[in-house]
Chains A and B, each alone.
Chain A
């Protein structure tokens, strides 16, 4: 189930995004490698979702560059980036509520040269892989929350990504289900051969899963490093303490 393309890195180079006069991202540089799980953390409003929107083509930038290896991707539209192997999930999941679970995942093959029937077969395989094969015929809008998130991930995997951007995959998940989610994300990197960027508030998940953590606050990078190094970083502690006081 490996992606067909050979891209090795995805990143932003000095990206700035402004909403009105306010900078949501300020001169932000981030890189995600194909073989890593990178955690992206920061207090609420730090710009994490904005960064995912930039990387997936939903958010134009005021300055800076988006790239994959030596290719500049700034200004490319979301469907073009999907074709290049950049997939994402949404914080609000955004399933195709009126379609079946199978159709949701099969739709993920829209931009790929895969015939209709083969797309259904492969969508079923992905659903089996993710543990939802039995619910293939259910209408997506009727699923419980946890299943919804898994379908969202399955749909993103169907696009054959080289890089997968997960926007709060653990939101609304019970604490006891976190370990299985963590092992699934680890298996995505290994079995689908794709780099994973995880935006998450659940620190246990970030610390247990990520090889590297990128911390942002007010749209700027404040630390990059191993989970342990980042945890001990005074500026990171300050950012989170500051949030707690507010």
Chain B
């Protein structure tokens, strides 16, 4: 069979789902960059969430198996990078019980980030071997149990992590642009993965596991592969979070972040990259508006403040409404459609 060069139409249609999302994101970020510093920080935080949610999507979206355990990979990533790139002068004071090969070493933050992703990926591979035999509620509970294990080990291993207190001194290199580049990178990886042969096989198993096995898909192996890729991307999210705030803490990578990342994915639609991206953007905007309401809005001499906790209530409510009225999420699990006007402009035939 001869390999055939793709036509312009195929090429444009092929990259459209990724390109459209990337353009939307870049425009939004450019607008935020013109705003006040507070807005830029909110947008940076949202982009870090985007890295986590798209990473989560690589596994959950393609395999259709829910994971409540992905915060463990943020934790492994955040702490893994901190061990490597926190300056020795901080480690010697704040973390003086670290083993010498970490305590006396200081690596480039980029190298630390890569190593941290590999660290999380290795754990995902090992735990994936047994966990990826599970589906449905079993997988949800199994992955959550894994998160609990990782949490307890990090919270309890004082010498390595500082226990339940924060591990400080992480070099702060994450700003709006670093977060944007990371988000675009993660989206690219997710899109390449979902359009690969393995990604298609996995999405087939999501639709019908028995039929996928009948056409030669080793579902277990495909799930492990996506679990590892997904864990590495999510770990990058943990690394970014730590190097945005300058600190990592075990509670930062536990129930709260698990809930919010799943809410973002579910609200956007678990079945598509567009769902992961749009869900993160929409939820981030809603969450920020609710947070400002909590802080109070000045109306003349009056300050109206909503009760604290409104943000969590709002998100939980939004997730319930979506699950009830639009279970496939805002995007319905589809990628953004190729607009007809663009096809006409490029001289492509309509389909």
Contact = CB atoms under 8 A, between A and B. Distances in A.
A96 interface: yes
A101 to B, nearest CB: 13
Contacts of B3: 115, 117-118
A99 B6 contact: no
Given A58-B210, A107-B212, A159-B215, A96 B204 contact: yes
Given A94-B210, A95-B208, A107 B217 contact: yes
Nearest to B5: A117
Interface in B180-213: 195-197, 200-201, 203-204, 206-208, 210-213
B279 interface: no
Given A118-B3, A121-B1, A137-B351, A107 B204 contact: yes
Contacts of B200: 99, 103, 106-107, 110, 116
8 contacts: A82-B214, A83-B216, A95-B208, A95-B211, A96-B204, A103-B204, A111-B217, A122-B1
B211 A77 contact: no
Given A107-B204, A118-B3, A122-B1, 6 more contacts: A58-B214, A79-B216, A79-B218, A90-B214, A96-B203, A107-B203
Interface of A: 56, 58, 77-79, 82-83, 87-88, 90, 94-99, 103-104, 106-112, 114-119, 121-122, 137, 155-156, 158-159
Shortest Cβ-Cβ A-B pairs, 8 listed: A111-B216, A82-B216, A96-B207, A78-B213, A110-B201, A94-B211, A107-B204, A94-B208
A75 to B, nearest CB: 15
B238 interface: no
A38 to B, nearest CB: 19
B213 A116 contact: no
Chain B interface: which size bin? 20 to 34
Interface in B202-244: 203-204, 206-208, 210-219
Find the residue from B208, B212, B219, B351 having the highest chain A CB count within 10 A: B208
Contacts of B208: 94-97
B162 interface: no
Contacts of A56: 214
A110 B217 contact: yes
Contacts, number: 100
A122 B208 CA distance: 22
Given A98-B207, A98-B271, A122-B1, A107 B201 contact: yes
B333 interface: yes
B4 interface: yes
A118 B1 contact: yes
A78 B214 contact: yes
Contact of B4 (A82, A83, A94, A121): A121
A112 B210 CA distance: 18
A116 B200 CA distance: 9
Find the residue from B3, B206, B215, B351 having the highest chain A CB count within 10 A: B215
A26 to B, nearest CB: 25
Contacts of A78: 210, 213-214
Find the residue from B201, B206, B210, B211 having the highest chain A CB count within 10 A: B211
Contacts of A104: 204
Contacts of A99: 200, 203-204, 207
Contacts of B215: 82, 87, 107-108, 110-111, 155-156, 158-159
A80 to B, nearest CB: 8
Contacts of A110: 197, 200-201, 204, 212, 215-217
